[in-house]
Structure 1
Amino acid sequence: MKLTRILAGSAAALIAATGLVACNDSAEEDAATGADTSFDGPIRIGTTDANLREWDVFQDLAEEEGIDVEIVTFADYNTPNDALAQDQLDVNKFQHLQFLSNYNVGAGQDLEAFSATEIYPLALFWQDHDSLDGIEGERVAIPNDATNQGRAINVLVQAGLVTLREEGLLDPSPADIDTEASEVEVTPVDAAQATLAYNEGTPAVINNSFLERAGIDPNSAIFQDDPSTEQAEQYINVWVTTPELADNEELQQLAELWKDPAVEEAVLESSGGTAVPVDLTDEELADIQQRLEERAAE
């Protein structure tokens, strides 16, 4: 029998129904004295995609290592950080560095990234087309949320379809686009609506998480951004915890289990072959996070 279990439902209902509590007293005392924090109960991991096969593989590996974990799944992207900040979780894994940095600045929190996992390229799709040929003059749907809009615009910049008034912007907005010099017109839409635009024949930049549910083959993209560029480093996915637990040995061990070849193979499969593993030190992640938070605070 597995030592893990998945809790489902909306985030708000989940917290109220399960009565999640803060870390045990001995753990808090260890944190206060600077000692390595231990867990008397299961390590509570928050995520938004517990249905993906990699989590099953990960849980099996954790069980083999004798680590008791509890996967807590959330229905939205904002609540897992709140739950972590309120000691209702021990760690979460669902976000990239930019999302974390924006959250910390907006909420006045100090959550820390401590292990890089993977990066998912953001891609442009166009129904019944396999190249950019003929796209000039088209409207292109892009996600309108603060986390993905700038990246989507830069996808079009890298594709040579959009020109910015100022080169090199890491997080441009539609107002930064030189419309007269651009080959296409950008139409921001709710991220979930980008697939609808695609199905209506409109070229669309679509988040990886919406592709499977919309039945879109990730390999049918006509263009995607380059995950090795400086522009992409803010979109590296990470494990996140509180400053008190950032050096915890058990959490570090769990993060290493995510790098196991069996987990990486499952991640690659569930992403349609698009996920790119990232290997950065915690110090490198901290430097990127600091730069992003400084920029978000401007």
Structure 2
Amino acid sequence: MSEPVSPNDSAPVLPTKQGNGRRNAIIAGAAAAVVVIAGIAYLVTSGDDSAEAGTNSSAAAQTVKIGVADAAQPYWKTYTDLAKKELNVTVELVNFGDYSQPNPALKQGEVDLNQFQHIQYLADYNVSSSDTIQPIGATAVYPLPLYSSEYKSVEEIPADAEIAIPNDTINEARGLLVLQAAGLLTLKDGGGAFSSVEDIDTTKVKVTPLDASQTAGAVKSGSVAGAIVNKNFATDAGLKTEEALFQDDPASEVAAPYVNIFAARAEDKDNETYLKLAELYHDPSVEEGVQEANGGTAVFRTTSAAELQTVLATVEEQARAAAK
């Protein structure tokens, strides 16, 4: 939901997912800040098999397949070269153009890991598919911003002004949490990762859910006073990060479900090589490339695998409650 769906974007936009009620459309987030590459799935093999393996030359060579949604990004070449040099691991990137595919591919053993989603997207997938995929390493959080073409601060927004938010399950909930943090509304019981407009308790503004692809246009045209806009749509519309009136705090507890992750099958969650590959994402040269690809909006997180798995369990409970 990587790095937003990009599941690497503030909340990566995911394709429609059939389900019941509020779970009909899942847009993620996962990543968050990822750019979906055309094509169903193709294999990208990086690293020179004939190269010396650097500091781990005495270790047995391994090949690990990682499912991603943005294999063309230059930072993946940096990453795969480092994996060969530092870990003696040949990383094969399997690129998916449809966010509904990497998790089933992982379950079926077509890839060993994937990195394209955030925790909330994984929780929804696990619950709806009766799967047990686990996060083994954090990558980054991408803040979700509130824009306005009319007002310069949240405080200027008048009572009953119309604010647009994405209408898919994942981004609707996060958009509402952003508006709550901005002081524009309150949610019943504080809200959660699967809140909807039906959970609004009190509000200063009129909240209008729109397709995520329409929120940027709505705020640019002035047809709404403000809008929650996913990073990729904001970039396409020429909305700059520094122009946002407000965005959620990536370090807050509320943002925990939106941490983008490396994911593995449950039986592989303690695999030493896989854990090292997740850590390698935070090499300074890789992080620099990620920032270049995402306009400097990535907020890197090094949350432990155990902590991520605890957050996942909590969000899965919220997903089950939302499905009832």
Structure 2: which amino acid aligns with 1:198? Answer: V
Q: Give me the CA root mean square deviation.
A: 2.2
Query: Judging changes above 3 Å, is the alpha-carbon distance between structure 1 residues 211 and 8 closer, same or farther for their aligned structure 2 residues?
Result: closer
1:163 Cα offset (Å): 2.6
Query: Judging changes above 3 Å, is the alpha-carbon distance between structure 1 residues 198 and 74 closer, same or farther for their aligned structure 2 residues?
Result: farther
Work out which of the residue numbers 192, 208, 221 in structure 2 matches 1:170: 192
Structure 2: which amino acid aligns with 1:52? Answer: Q
Instruction: Give the whole-Å Cα distance in 1 for the aligned partners of 2:161 and 2:300.
Output: 34
**Is there any run of 5+ residues in structure 1 with no aligned partner, and where?**
1-6, 19-37
CA contact (8 A) 1:219 1:272 kept: no
State the match for 1:94 in structure 2. 116
Instruction: Give the whole-Å Cα distance in 1 for the aligned partners of 2:266 and 2:61.
Output: 16
CA contact (8 A) 2:37 2:69 kept: no
Are 2:147 and 1:120 aligned? no
Work out which of the residue numbers 84, 88, 106 in structure 2 matches 1:63: 84
Are 2:107 and 1:85 aligned? yes
Q: Secondary structure at the match of 2:236?
A: coil
State the match for 1:211 in structure 2. 234
1:9 Cα offset (Å): 3.7
Structure 1: which amino acid aligns with 2:65? Answer: R
Under a length normalisation based on structure 1, what TM-score does the superposition of the two structures give?
0.81
Structure 2: which amino acid aligns with 1:104? Answer: N
1:19-168 alignment runs, 5 A limit:
42-65=63-86, 66-127=88-149, 129-136=151-158, 137-164=160-187, 166-168=188-190
Structure 2: which amino acid aligns with 1:247? Answer: D
Work out which of the residue numbers 220, 227, 246 in structure 2 matches 1:199: 220
Instruction: Give the whole-Å Cα distance in 2 for the aligned partners of 1:148 and 1:10.
Output: 25
Structure 2: which amino acid aligns with 1:75? Answer: G
Work out which of the residue numbers 308, 312, 321 in structure 2 matches 1:289: 312
1:205 Cα offset (Å): 0.6
Structure 2: which amino acid aligns with 1:101? Answer: A
1:178-257 alignment runs, 5 A limit:
178=201, 181-201=202-222, 202=224, 203-257=226-280
Q: Secondary structure at the match of 1:70?
A: strand
* Deviation readout 1:199-242 (Å, 9 max, x if unpaired): 22232111223333333212221100112222111111110011
Query: Judging changes above 3 Å, is the alpha-carbon distance between structure 1 residues 281 and 270 closer, same or farther for their aligned structure 2 residues?
Result: same
State the match for 2:39 in structure 1. 10
1:139 Cα offset (Å): 1.4
CA contact (8 A) 1:96 1:236 kept: yes
CA contact (8 A) 1:96 1:238 kept: yes
State the match for 1:23 in structure 2. none
* Deviation readout 1:164-200 (Å, 9 max, x if unpaired): 3x2411132101124xx42211111122222222322
Structure 2: which amino acid aligns with 1:238? Answer: I
Higher mean C-alpha displacement, 241-250 vs 280-289 = 241-250
1:39 Cα offset (Å): 8.0
State the match for 2:292 in structure 1. 269
Instruction: Give the whole-Å Cα distance in 1 for the aligned partners of 2:213 and 2:77.
Output: 26
Q: Secondary structure at the match of 2:198?
A: helix
Q: Secondary structure at the match of 2:78?
A: helix
**Is there any run of 5+ residues in structure 2 with no aligned partner, and where?**
1-35, 44-59
Runs (4+) of structure 1 moved beyond 4 Å?
none
* Deviation readout 1:86-142 (Å, 9 max, x if unpaired): 211111111111110110000011101011111111110123643225322321111
Instruction: Give the whole-Å Cα distance in 2 for the aligned partners of 1:250 and 1:43.
Output: 9
State percent identity of aligned pairs: 40
Query: Judging changes above 3 Å, is the alpha-carbon distance between structure 1 residues 59 and 215 closer, same or farther for their aligned structure 2 residues?
Result: farther
Structure 2: which amino acid aligns with 1:250? Answer: T
Instruction: Give the whole-Å Cα distance in 2 for the aligned partners of 1:170 and 1:117.
Output: 22
